[in-house]
Chain A
Amino acid sequence: MYDALLNRLIRRLEVDTAPLSEQERDAIASLPLTIRDVAADQDIVREGERPSQCCVVIEGFQCRYKMLRDGERQIMSFHVPGDIPDLQSLFLSTMDHSLGTITPNRVAFIAHEPLRKLIRQQPGIAERLWRETLIDASVFREWITNVGSRDAYTRIAHVICEMYVRLHAVGLTNGTTFQFPITQTELADATGLSTVHVNRSIQQIRADGLIVWERGVCTIPDLKALQDAGMFEPSYLHMRGNVAA
């Protein structure tokens, strides 16, 4: 279990840059962790809270979101195993948004204090974590563009491409098949669309043969065709090598 977590985290930290050194790996492996199982649709940390720990996703999907006064929810990002979705809380003490699970999760909590100590001792790791938050911001820029300027069909195709590429990067795809347990309502909240229009658009994307999506499992028969449909260009994810394999 512990090794699986470590490998996931290390693989994630190596996605966009060179492999970690032996020393850096050992330093990460010696971090004290608390592993917890969290049910689906639970908050990990809420807007306004001042957390004293960060979480690493080991299994499951999470999202970051804001709730509006009228009960509307805007999902701003999806998170997959290996991600540290609330890394910013290490330096920004009050949460400006919430982080919650979509599916049942296994998460590892790392207390802020040992993590701060680690980055003081290992500048290489500090750099990688800094990159993580920069890529985070890059993904938000892409999502602003997605929600602001693309039609529903393109928007949804784009999100599906992104999920595939990110899951592929941490070894969680089987060919072009992957777990995609997102409901229509969650996808609507993430794309700024009504559930009815999301339903309609998904059925069109399916009818066009670009995805097969059943019971939370998605297959992309022709990745190039879906990328074209989604105006998806993976450079904003800043991964090494050929990510669209």
Chain B
Amino acid sequence: MGMARYFFDTRDNSHSQRDELGLELDSLEEARDEATRGLADLAKDVLPSAVRRELAVEVRDEIDFPVLRAALWFEVAVVAAL
């Protein structure tokens, strides 16, 4: 079992937040699951007040190498005025 530390930076439009803590995980597969769940949580918090938003979780490994990116593009618009 090769435990490794992964860092999950989050991006909200142009604002990026660097993860200084990281998580010990068994595999890249687990990192993908964590990133996906993190992205879904982030979306739940920020989308209700959003119009256009690009959200992403960018995963780095221990040597700062980018290994995975999960992203979500959101847009809401009224298409017919009553």
Cα distance A185–B39 when bound, in Å?
16
Can you list, as one digit per residue, whether each of B16-49 has a CB less than 8 Å from chain A (1) or not (0)? 0101110100000000001101111110010000
Asked if residues B34 and A152 are in contact (CB atoms below 8 Å), the reply is: no
Assess whether A93 is interfacial by the CB under 8 Å rule. Answer: no
Asked if residues B20 and A200 are in contact (CB atoms below 8 Å), the reply is: no
Can you list, as one digit per residue, whether each of A184-221 has a CB less than 8 Å from chain B (1) or not (0)? 11000000011111011011100000000000000000
Can you list, as one digit per residue, whether each of B34-72 has a CB less than 8 Å from chain A (1) or not (0)? 110111111001000000000001000000000000000
Cα distance A185–B8 when bound, in Å?
14
Can you list, as one digit per residue, whether each of A19-44 has a CB less than 8 Å from chain B (1) or not (0)? 00000000000000000000000000
CB contact under 8 A between A194 and B34, given known A199-B23, A200-B10, A203-B19: yes
Cα distance A196–B39 when bound, in Å?
8
Assess whether A151 is interfacial by the CB under 8 Å rule. Answer: yes
Known: A184-B21, A196-B39, A202-B21. 18 other contacts (CB 8 A): A153-B45, A184-B23, A194-B41, A195-B38, A196-B10, A196-B19, A196-B23, A196-B35, A196-B41, A197-B38, A197-B41, A197-B42, A200-B10, A200-B42, A203-B17, A203-B20, A203-B21, A204-B17
Range class of the B interface residue count: 10 to 19
CB contact under 8 A between A194 and B40, given known A151-B45, A152-B45: yes
Instruction: Classify the interface of chain A: helix, strand, loop or mixed.
Output: helix
Query: B: which residues have CB within 8 A of A?
Result: 8, 10, 17, 19-21, 23, 34-35, 37-42, 45, 57
B41 and chain A: residue at smallest CB distance: A197
Nearest-Cβ distance from residue A27 to partner chain B, whole angstroms = 48
Interfacial chain B residues near A202, Cβ < 8 Å = 21
Asked if residues B20 and A196 are in contact (CB atoms below 8 Å), the reply is: no
Asked if residues B41 and A193 are in contact (CB atoms below 8 Å), the reply is: yes
Range class of the A interface residue count: 10 to 19
Asked if residues B21 and A194 are in contact (CB atoms below 8 Å), the reply is: no
Interfacial chain B residues near A203, Cβ < 8 Å = 17, 19-21
Interfacial chain A residues near B38, Cβ < 8 Å = 194-197, 200
Cα distance A159–B68 when bound, in Å?
31
Query: A: which residues have CB within 8 A of B?
Result: 151-153, 184-185, 193-197, 199-200, 202-204
Interfacial chain B residues near A204, Cβ < 8 Å = 17
Selected A-B contacts with CB under 8 Å, 27 pairs:
A152-B45, A153-B45, A184-B21, A185-B23, A193-B41, A194-B34, A194-B37, A194-B38, A194-B40, A195-B23, A195-B34, A196-B8, A196-B10, A196-B34, A196-B37, A196-B38, A196-B39, A196-B41, A196-B57, A199-B19, A199-B21, A199-B23, A200-B8, A203-B17, A203-B19, A203-B20, A204-B17
Nearest-Cβ distance from residue A118 to partner chain B, whole angstroms = 46
Asked if residues B37 and A200 are in contact (CB atoms below 8 Å), the reply is: no
Asked if residues B34 and A200 are in contact (CB atoms below 8 Å), the reply is: no
Interfacial chain A residues near B42, Cβ < 8 Å = 197, 200
Cα distance A200–B23 when bound, in Å?
12
Cα distance A199–B45 when bound, in Å?
14
Interfacial chain A residues near B17, Cβ < 8 Å = 200, 203-204
